[in-house]
Structure 1
Amino acid sequence: MNLKQLEYFVAIAEEGQVTAAARRLHISQPPLSYELAQLERELDTQLVRRGPRGVTLTEAGRLLYERARRILAMATATAREVSSVGKGLTGTLCLAVAPSAAALAPGARLAELAGRAGQVSIELREGTVPEVIELVGSGIAEVGVVRTPFATQGLRVRYAPAEPLVAVMPPALERGAELEVGLAELSDVPIVCDRRCAAQLGRDVFCLTEDERTTCSCAASGLGVGLVPRSLLAVCDTGPCYIKTVTEKDLASRAAVIWKADRALSPLAERAVALLGELS
């Protein structure tokens, strides 16, 4: 099993047809079918089921597809990192960012690197906090930006100052004082928030989201009171909603820049960490 075979298999899995995969790979169909057959023989298992309308993955095929995507991404990251060693501030930076930190990275913080366009490029990946940590831990991304709480084992971390949770309140659901609101005052309104926030609240949540920007969108449409970190307001349209600070200080969170503890950063990644700073 080699990288070429894995690349071919991923194309077949994603296209659902050998013919379409061959077009995507810019090769003819026979060698692609041959490599698939070779891969199945080597692994001694059926990876796809062939039908009149294309192919579907077997259980073994689905497992290989997930692993192959990760292996190919790691191979690309490794080649990129090795190529950049000794070249200084050149190459591609793979930066992984959680939606809860979208207002803090990358944005203007990395604008300096835009002046080196042609020598430097950025590959931006987005995912939940666990997904970003996995991308950094596996070496696919050199640098990640996440938000507390998260497990720090195996990571080096640079924290931003704590920032409060804010309530994005449709006019019909306004509660609390002019600038602040307590959770007790929100007990009779539907709450919209992401899973991380919901786990901290200790109460039923009307609508769970994966992305705090979606939380703001739901609040702006009147679906409920959205709870998000204050910095997210910079990249969200909250429409006619009132914005009030949630008074419970134990719900405050901190954004953080992370990188793998046992990995030497490339010069480009080191510069990116310096530019991101404390995300304040």
Structure 2
Amino acid sequence: MDQPTVGVLHPGSMGAAVAACAAANAMSVLWCAEGRSPASAGRAERLGLEAVPTLQELLDRSDVVISLCPPAAAEDLARDVAAHGFTGLYLEANAINADRAVRIADLLGPKVAVVDGGVVGSPPVNGKTPTLYLSGAASATARVEALFAGTAVRTKVLGTEVGQASALKLAYASFQKASRVLVALAIGLAREHGVDQELIDIASRRTDSYLSEPEYIAKTAARAWRWGPELEEAADMLEAAGLPPEMLHAAASTLARWDDVKDDGKLTLTDALDRLARP
């Protein structure tokens, strides 16, 4: 299908921006206004997405549905889609573990072509070009590749098994996001003893060290409400593989100390470290 109609579920900052890129190769891109916040509505409007009043209408009109939501909601959202009788292509692009991706595919049933997806990188705005990793049946992943061809969302197919893209996403997130937590702890400890600048100077003499980017701690704090659940998902995968999950559980618990500064773009490094130091 050359010009499919695309529906995006829960158009957050990543989901809405990814869906907007798909508009280049789609007939239209829909989102459901029912139950969504004013922030979601404003975001969708700015990106040129077409509002529909109900989930049923979105699913009836859509050939492809993109699911990008907080990890905890992924299965409930898929269950709602299944209950409405959707039979198109479902791009499960949430930061969930591989077992959950497989469960969602089973839940949606054989009439739905499920593609497992994992986004690595920032939302595709202001020149950012994230990569959408894909796994699933070759015919289905090819349709997703075509949907994003020539856009700021790059695609790469990993294989034919649902779960591979989710595994890659969480393997990367395990290091990248836990490392940001370790930076906050290291600089927080050094600051307590008045040697934080020396620590940063040491790190700046090395290449590619997160320790040389203390300004990112405030961004980590503002994103903690999303990163924590992702690390819990990754911890579940480690445990299933016989590897110790405790470090990622601990990192998620650390991130929870920042839950009260959700998406706070004005947070400073000092504010973030002060909140981290509270019991």
Q: TM-score if structure 1 supplies the norm length?
A: 0.26
Q: Which one has a larger percent helix, Structure 1 or Structure 2?
A: 2
Q: Which one has a larger percent strand, Structure 1 or Structure 2?
A: 1
Larger radius of gyration: 1
Highest relative contact order (Cα 8 Å, sep 6+), 1 or 2?
1
Q: TM-score if structure 2 supplies the norm length?
A: 0.26
